[in-house]
Structure 1
Amino acid sequence: MLHKWKPFGFLAKPHICCRLSSLTLFKPSVSVARLLEEEPSLSHSPKDPVFEILSGFKKLGFRRFLAGDYFGNVVFSLDQLQVDKIIDFLRVESPDFAAVFFDLMRKEYRFRHSRFSRFVVAHVLAGQRRLEELRFVLEHMLKEEGSGSAPSLCEHLLNGFRDWDKNSLVWDMLAFVYSRFEMVHDALYVLAKMKDLKLHASIVTYNSLLYNLRHTGIMWDVYNEIKVAGTIQSKQTNSIVIDGLCRQSKLQDAVSFLQETEAKGLGPSIVSLNTIMSRYCKLGFTDVAKSFFCMMLKYGLLPDAYSYNILIHGLCIAGSLEEALEFTSDMKKHGVEPDIVTYNILTKGFRLLGQMDGAWILIQRMLDKGLNPDVVTYTILICGHCQNGNVKEGLKLREEMLSRGLRLTVLLYSVLLSSLCKIGRVHEALVLFYEMEEQDLEPDHVTYSILIHGLCKQGEVQNALLLYKEMCSKSIPPSSLSSGAILLSLCENGMILEARTYFDSLIMNDWAHDIVLYNIMIDGYVRQGNLEEALELYKIITEKGITPTTVTFNSLIYGFCKNRNLAEARRLVETIMLHGLEPTAVTYTTLMNAYCEDGNMHCMLELLREMHAKGIRPTHVTYTVIIKGLCKQKKLQEAIRLLEDMRYMGLNPDQVTYNTIIQSFCKTRNVKTAFKLINEMWLNSLEPTPVTYNILINGLCVHGNLEDANKCIHVLWPNDGEGL
């Protein structure tokens, strides 16, 4: 008899990735025995595979028949409709056999079951409360069906399985699996259909959906649906809602929700309190976070390592390292051992304060506890040492990581590359860069940008371009930093044609949206004396709708000043304001210098007054320009007074400022004052340059004071004028 058959055990679950076509449903069949007795048409069709298989089951037994030659020969010719019939017949007579046959066909013969067979077996498994296997069957179906399949599958369930036993459980599991696969809209559709059918979803399904929707306002709709349906909530439900409110920056609502659950006699969970504490700490309100920590103790909840770590991290970020260490001690008193996360947080706290010695003391304590540093620990230490300019220690830590079999991250390599490039060790950085490939790490645009910028600073533009081409060949779009570095380097090296070719390639690839790149190119043309090309680029900017900056106009003003077209340069200052921008000290200083060169002190001083009226603070360069103008007019005492005024205003004159005045005093044969100014430079920790001394010696020579010039050379360079 069929009810005595012993099913095979369930087989391993293979991967299936083919969409199944929908089949027409048919009514559940009668038992196999009755079918064979009552259906003469089947008994007269011995070649029908369904009849032969069912007969074989009856005569030989389930296990024997499946292992026989006939089934092995006919199985590959079975279509979905025939398998549907077999499974449907079996689920009436022996549900276990229906599930085993379904699994055998799927695993051993890679058979693509129809929706009907899947739902039949789903109901069988639901009836036996074999929920994990039920979930697995539906997961495989949804992997094949994909997003947006809910309406079709719901229609199938509705029409073919409405009155089946455990139908509600299948619907619920379907909604859960959709949610688990993050097909949220499909899950919501299934729940809506369940509501129409007066079927209740489980809290597990609702919780899964709430979790996926915790970033959105729809979370509240689902939560209200839970309350309306009368579904018993779990502590996990409340924790998810609180987490969602915190993620949506509705912290006060999260606290209110916590108070509501407390009023209903539902005490808060550690997870909920940890979530709120974490959010307050991220906002910098560590004192408020500590009050929720106290609430845990009030409710008799024992804070775990995660609770302590949240507060310790918040205190470290706030710079309260001492208090963070006190909490670590309190942690131990309450029987909670600091873990690797705790030590990493504290190590990062020391790093943020630049106290790497303290960080190493913590590492030693960690080692004493039998805890080994992980990738996070090494990342903190390497970043800390590199931040302090100790790249040598950073590289030693890298070696230690590799010897321990720990993989460096792209971030760590980028930190090391940046530190090496900053101190000019670009070729060592390149060695590390290609080491990344050996570690199967893909450099990103940040990594490339660091190296390209480093090469350009060293004047190795061609190597930078090669690296740039390599980056583009990997379909990594260049950043403004890398493109700007190459463009600036080409311009600074006088390679304006190459710079324009490169710039045009950026435009062609639609990578030149940043005004900074246009500014570099415009300034490059201006410095080369090609104002026309600079103005053409400015025209392109306006046509493309790219907003110019004050830097754009400053370069053009410099170009017009260089061409002695001061009227047009002056008009551009008005254009700056028409664009809603503000002129800078550079804007006015550039114009003032041009008027100074023309000897127009009146316009120059008028611009200075305009600067003051607009609240634009002059720089030491601005005053150097004014001093140059005063010196041209032989107003040397006024120039010296302005030098004193600069210091009074907190502006430090540089060598150029002093050289300008010293040269003027030398021209008037007032060498004594010139020497006095040089002494003043030394007193103000400003070292005179070779230009300073050359000005002084040339002044003495021009006026025939060769003896004094010779004495000066021997005083300044006692070793026979070495260094002159």
Structure 2
Amino acid sequence: MVDDALFVLAKMKDLGIRASIMTYNNLFVNLRHTNIMWDVYEEIKASGTPQSEYTNCILIDGLCRQSLFQEAVVFLRESERTESMPTVASFNSLISRFCKVGYIDVAKSFFCMMFKYGLLPDAYSYNILIHGLCIAGSMEEALEFTDDMEKHGVEPDVVTYNILAKGFRLLGIMGGVSEIIRQMKLKGLDPNIVTYTILMCGHCQTGNIEKVFELREEMFSHGFQLNDIAYSVLLSSLCKKGRAGEALSLLHEMESVGLKPDLVTYSILIHGLCKQGEIQKAIQLYNEMLSNAIFPNSFVHSAILLGLSEKGTLSEARTFFDALKKSDLMEDIVLYNIMIYRYAKLGKIGEAAQLYKEIIEEGITPSIVTFNSLIYGYCKSRKLAEAKTWLDTINANGLVPTAVTYTTLMNALCEEGDIHGMFEVLSEMEAKAVEPTNVTYTVVIKGLCKRQRLQESLQLLDSMHAKGISPDEITYNTIIHCFCKNQDMRKAFQLHNEMLHHNLQPSSVTYNILINGLCVNRDLKEADRFFSFLLDQNIRLTKTAYLTLIKAHCAKGDACKADALFRQMVEKGFEISIRDYSAVINRLSKKNLTTNMKGFLRMMLFDGISLDQEICLVVLNAFRRVGDLNSEFELLAVTIKHGLLPD
């Protein structure tokens, strides 16, 4: 009620009642964010009211709060000329504001200037400067100022130690945090709620959720009640660990101790639930927010829309999207981008284009993500000519195509076999000074491999390393697969070794490609040796690696080895389906290994997997070829009984 306060001040003047400097200062403090501050200051001077030491301090603080730093410094110097000695509080305001905007060196110069005026910095002076240094990551200098603090007879307090602990926590140095708290306790200072919150944040950062809960219990034992920040930290940690159910229980605990969840609390939980696919629970919380008059922001709406589109159905996502549109809750382009991408991914490019039309009609500015999604959709629908036209639209909207834009187009052209077109897009990308990523290079390598230009693909791989762009396992897998197809297993394994040399761990796909390459190239002994070597190295192989080797031994007629590998695969805990049994039985039937077929049939039935028509026909034909009529009629009776034979 600023106008009313000023009216009362004017009325006092009319009645000849002289306002005290305390009255002016109180008014002054509450006008620090406005230009009216100057009017009140002129009024003080005109009234002849003697100023207190806080008057100039309030004005300097107000100028700093309005980011008028130069004016604040000028005023400080003018006050010096008028023999009005600057106070520690005035310097603290300047130091604080310069630290907040990142001008630490300027803040330090004002700190040193205090000594020039014969002023001794207080604990607050030191704390704000130490805080600025910690935020800037200058922990060594922050610790030096802490030592200087003690040399000048100013004892570091709990705030000082909390600031230092937070500085180490921001750098992820939990050892430093522990050491600061140890020193704090040696000084006879007890950790407070802020100390515990900093510790909890640090352990959340490192993923040590169990330590966080230990600290929680320690807080309770010292009589501390968790505040809303501490609860938010815990909720966030649980959600990141995929423990959204426990986070919900914690929410109820929070409410039971009288703390009301705010927008941040709900946002954390809703995002965590959506990531876990618990969409309905997320929507329940969303409705609870609304009933508590807490209005969701774009982050919440995005989380639910993403969850519905990824874990739910597209129609559910569209219903929610339309409801937001109807309620005028479309704050920005983000929600449109989510829907456009989802339509594009599902090949519904017509719907995606329609939403883009709506964006333009509504006067919403599209982002580069919007266009990248549309280009991806047209590429997925194999409408490459239309996809290319969106590049012009991007430029027309004042945006710059990204590496994702060009790479998406290049990949589509590569898939279509248009390698020339792919290189044209790459040339345009380089001409526009858009740096290719490792994904871009992988696409180019894939295109070169399709054309059997293997040496060029290797040269490009070397070029990536030279430019400081690290190829990932997909890049290497692409080339390794190509050399395996060309029966050059020596080079394929050289590339595998090169991965290890660059500290890049081959993936299970890499091993599958190499094992398959050895099997296809009829080097089954080497495939067995390599497979055994990987097991000895405790490398986790997938079911695909086992099945590849099993099928190869079946095709060779080595049913015993196939049987041993199959049993080993079962022992490893892989889920075995009827398709896996079918693949093995089919290959054994081609070799007329009926005895082994029977063994696999028994194993299959023992595992509780029922026969299907395909397996029955394969086995019956095999029995017929070898003249095993008894087995044939026996199985025929079973198939007829279970209705597995066609009419």
Tell whether the 8 Å contact from 2:61 to 2:93 is kept in structure 1 after alignment: yes
Residue in 2 aligned with 1:344? 162
Query: Of 447, 464, 470, which residue of structure 2 is paired with 1:652?
Result: 470
> Which digits, 9 at most, give the CA deviation of each residue in 1:407-442, with x for residues without a partner?
222221111221222222333322222211112111
TM-score, structure 2 as length reference:
0.77
Query: Of 532, 535, 538, which residue of structure 1 is paired with 2:350?
Result: 532
Residue in 2 aligned with 1:590? 408
Q: Say yes or no: does 1:364 pair with 2:179.
A: no
Q: Say yes or no: does 1:609 pair with 2:609.
A: no
Q: Say yes or no: does 1:276 pair with 2:94.
A: yes
Query: Of 266, 269, 272, which residue of structure 2 is paired with 1:448?
Result: 266
Alignment-mate amino acid for residue 356 of structure 2: Y
Instruction: Provide the secondary structure at the position in 1 that maps to 2:67.
Output: coil
For residues 37-48 of structure 1, the aligned pairs below 5 Å read none
- Closer/same/farther in 2, CA of residues 573 and 346 from structure 1, 3 Å limit: same
Cα distance, 1:196 vs structure 2: 5.0
Give the percent of matched residue pairs that are identical in Structure 1 and Structure 2: 62
Alignment-mate amino acid for residue 245 of structure 2: H
Residue in 1 aligned with 2:374? 556
Q: Say yes or no: does 1:482 pair with 2:266.
A: no
Gaps of 5+ in 2: 537-545, 547-563, 575-647
Q: Which moved more, 1:284-293 or 1:308-317?
A: 284-293
Tell whether the 8 Å contact from 1:526 to 1:558 is kept in structure 2 after alignment: yes
Cα distance, 1:350 vs structure 2: 2.9
- Closer/same/farther in 2, CA of residues 354 and 694 from structure 1, 3 Å limit: closer
Tell whether the 8 Å contact from 2:32 to 2:65 is kept in structure 1 after alignment: yes
Residue in 2 aligned with 1:105? none
Query: Which is greater in Rg?
Result: 1
Residue in 1 aligned with 2:610? none
- Closer/same/farther in 2, CA of residues 226 and 705 from structure 1, 3 Å limit: closer
Alignment-mate amino acid for residue 466 of structure 1: Q
Residue in 1 aligned with 2:637? none
Instruction: Provide the secondary structure at the position in 2 that maps to 1:514.
Output: coil
- Closer/same/farther in 2, CA of residues 255 and 711 from structure 1, 3 Å limit: closer
For residues 323-342 of structure 1, the aligned pairs below 5 Å read 323-342=141-160
Tell whether the 8 Å contact from 1:478 to 1:511 is kept in structure 2 after alignment: no
- Closer/same/farther in 2, CA of residues 542 and 668 from structure 1, 3 Å limit: same
> Which digits, 9 at most, give the CA deviation of each residue in 1:375-420, with x for residues without a partner?
2222222222222333322222222222223222222111122122
Cα distance, 1:494 vs structure 2: 6.3
> Which digits, 9 at most, give the CA deviation of each residue in 1:616-667, with x for residues without a partner?
1112222222222222222222222222222222222233323333333333
Structure 2 Cα separation of the partners of residues 715 and 287 of structure 1? 59
Residue in 2 aligned with 1:157? none
> Which digits, 9 at most, give the CA deviation of each residue in 1:275-302, with x for residues without a partner?
2232233344444444444444444444
Residue in 1 aligned with 2:313? 495
Residue in 2 aligned with 1:265? 83
Tell whether the 8 Å contact from 2:24 to 2:44 is kept in structure 1 after alignment: yes
Aligned length in residues: 542
Structure 2 Cα separation of the partners of residues 234 and 202 of structure 1? 10
> Which digits, 9 at most, give the CA deviation of each residue in 1:576-633, with x for residues without a partner?
1111111111111111122222222221111110000001111222222222222222
Tell whether the 8 Å contact from 1:513 to 1:546 is kept in structure 2 after alignment: no
Structure 1 Cα separation of the partners of residues 14 and 26 of structure 2? 21
CA RMSD of aligned residues (A): 2.7
Tell whether the 8 Å contact from 2:345 to 2:380 is kept in structure 1 after alignment: no
- Closer/same/farther in 2, CA of residues 187 and 691 from structure 1, 3 Å limit: closer
For residues 135-146 of structure 1, the aligned pairs below 5 Å read none
Residue in 2 aligned with 1:670? 488
Query: Of 430, 444, 465, which residue of structure 1 is paired with 2:283?
Result: 465
Residue in 2 aligned with 1:399? 217
- Closer/same/farther in 2, CA of residues 494 and 625 from structure 1, 3 Å limit: farther
Residue in 1 aligned with 2:625? none
Q: Which moved more, 1:621-630 or 1:574-583?
A: 621-630
Residue in 1 aligned with 2:599? none
Structure 2 Cα separation of the partners of residues 388 and 617 of structure 1? 33
Cα distance, 1:197 vs structure 2: 5.7
Query: Of 359, 369, 376, which residue of structure 1 is paired with 2:194?
Result: 376
> Which digits, 9 at most, give the CA deviation of each residue in 1:469-490, with x for residues without a partner?
3333323222333332332233
Cα distance, 1:701 vs structure 2: 4.8
Structure 1 Cα separation of the partners of residues 203 and 528 of structure 2? 51
Residue in 2 aligned with 1:174? none
Alignment-mate amino acid for residue 405 of structure 1: G
TM-score, structure 1 as length reference:
0.69
Structure 1 Cα separation of the partners of residues 481 and 304 of structure 2? 38
- Closer/same/farther in 2, CA of residues 260 and 544 from structure 1, 3 Å limit: same
Gaps of 5+ in 1: 1-182
Query: Of 305, 308, 312, which residue of structure 1 is paired with 2:126?
Result: 308
Alignment-mate amino acid for residue 222 of structure 2: R
Tell whether the 8 Å contact from 2:279 to 2:312 is kept in structure 1 after alignment: no
Structure 1 Cα separation of the partners of residues 530 and 134 of structure 2? 59
Structure 2 Cα separation of the partners of residues 695 and 286 of structure 1? 55
> Which digits, 9 at most, give the CA deviation of each residue in 1:111-162, with x for residues without a partner?
xxxxxxxxxxxxxxxxxxxxxxxxxxxxxxxxxxxxxxxxxxxxxxxxxxxx
Structure 2 Cα separation of the partners of residues 223 and 417 of structure 1? 48
Structure 1 Cα separation of the partners of residues 257 and 71 of structure 2? 47
Residue in 1 aligned with 2:549? none
Structure 2 Cα separation of the partners of residues 337 and 715 of structure 1? 63
- Closer/same/farther in 2, CA of residues 616 and 194 from structure 1, 3 Å limit: same
Q: Say yes or no: does 1:248 pair with 2:66.
A: yes
Tell whether the 8 Å contact from 2:279 to 2:311 is kept in structure 1 after alignment: no
- Closer/same/farther in 2, CA of residues 354 and 586 from structure 1, 3 Å limit: closer
Structure 2 Cα separation of the partners of residues 191 and 643 of structure 1? 77
- Closer/same/farther in 2, CA of residues 594 and 290 from structure 1, 3 Å limit: closer
- Closer/same/farther in 2, CA of residues 404 and 597 from structure 1, 3 Å limit: same
Instruction: Provide the secondary structure at the position in 1 that maps to 2:391.
Output: helix
Query: Of 526, 541, 544, which residue of structure 1 is paired with 2:359?
Result: 541
Residue in 2 aligned with 1:176? none
Residue in 2 aligned with 1:420? 238
Instruction: Provide the secondary structure at the position in 2 that maps to 1:451.
Output: helix
Tell whether the 8 Å contact from 2:394 to 2:401 is kept in structure 1 after alignment: yes
- Closer/same/farther in 2, CA of residues 327 and 608 from structure 1, 3 Å limit: closer
Instruction: Provide the secondary structure at the position in 1 that maps to 2:340.
Output: helix
Alignment-mate amino acid for residue 37 of structure 2: M
- Closer/same/farther in 2, CA of residues 341 and 497 from structure 1, 3 Å limit: same
Query: Of 519, 523, 527, which residue of structure 1 is paired with 2:341?
Result: 523
For residues 641-720 of structure 1, the aligned pairs below 5 Å read 641-699=459-517, 701-702=519-520, 713=531, 716=534
Alignment-mate amino acid for residue 444 of structure 2: I
Cα distance, 1:703 vs structure 2: 5.7
Q: Say yes or no: does 1:565 pair with 2:383.
A: yes
For residues 159-198 of structure 1, the aligned pairs below 5 Å read 183-195=1-13
Structure 2 Cα separation of the partners of residues 506 and 456 of structure 1? 18
Cα distance, 1:198 vs structure 2: 5.6
Structure 1 Cα separation of the partners of residues 129 and 477 of structure 2? 58
Alignment-mate amino acid for residue 238 of structure 1: N
Structure 1 Cα separation of the partners of residues 524 and 211 of structure 2? 56
Residue in 2 aligned with 1:29? none
> Which digits, 9 at most, give the CA deviation of each residue in 1:522-579, with x for residues without a partner?
1111211211211222122122211111111111112111222111111011111111
Structure 1 Cα separation of the partners of residues 108 and 209 of structure 2? 38
Q: Say yes or no: does 1:619 pair with 2:437.
A: yes
For residues 291-302 of structure 1, the aligned pairs below 5 Å read 291-302=109-120
Instruction: Provide the secondary structure at the position in 2 that maps to 1:533.
Output: helix
Structure 1 Cα separation of the partners of residues 366 and 300 of structure 2? 21
- Closer/same/farther in 2, CA of residues 554 and 291 from structure 1, 3 Å limit: closer
- Closer/same/farther in 2, CA of residues 560 and 307 from structure 1, 3 Å limit: closer
